[in-house]
Amino acid sequence: MTRQAQAGLRQRPRASLRAVLAIATAASAALLALSACQAQPKSSAPPPGSISDDRSLGDIMVRFKPPAVNLSEDAGKLLAGIKGPIRYVVKRPMSGGVWLVTAISPSADATIDQAVETLRATPRIETAEPDRVLKPNRNIPTSRDMPQS
């Protein structure tokens, strides 16, 4: 084989390699352009009746009457059956069979006290108390054992 024949063989793979790289680059650019078009955020309002339309009234500690409620799905089903403008969302179980529940409502007039009264009127609920911070109603006495801070 002559040097010219060898040179011709060497150029062919380079030309096909360049063509493959050009096609791959064009395909990558097309995919990037397509994904960039789909990444645009769509501004839309939440659907009517969605949870984002509601405002939180507060948390309520709820204990159910027997039979015991051990799963949050069961607690959610019991609370979903309560009719009215206030909805209840199970947050988590607490100790002693008590569940922490959040009351939500789209109405600006609804209060946590109305939500608690609605729960207390439900036959399957034993107790319902708002989860509030309790403060002492008198000052702590000062003595040598309890100095003033």
Tokens 């003033």 -> residue: 148
Q: What is the CA radius of gyration of the chain?
A: 34
Q: Name the strands in the sheet holding 125-130, side by side, starting at the edge strand that comes first in the sequence.
A: 87-93, 98-105, 55-64, 125-130
Rounded Cα distance between 126 and 75, Å, is 13
CB 103 within 8 A of CB 58: yes
Rounded Cα distance between 122 and 139, Å, is 38
State whether residue 29 is helix, strand or coil.
Answer: helix
Q: What is the pLDDT of residue 138?
A: 75
Q: Hey, how many other C-beta atoms are within 10 angstroms of the C-beta on 115?
A: 27
Q: Is 96 left (phi over 0), alpha (psi -120 to 50) or beta?
A: left
Strands 55-64 and 125-130: antiparallel
Rounded Cα distance between 107 and 117, Å, is 16
Tell whether domain 51-130 is in CATH 3.30.70: yes
- Domain borders along the chain are 1-37, 51-130
Q: pLDDT tens track of the chain, all 149 residues?
A: 555 555 555 555 666 788 888 888 888 887 777 666 655 566 566 666 565 677 889 999 999 999 989 999 999 999 999 998 999 999 999 999 999 999 999 888 999 999 999 999 999 999 999 998 777 777 777 777 776 66
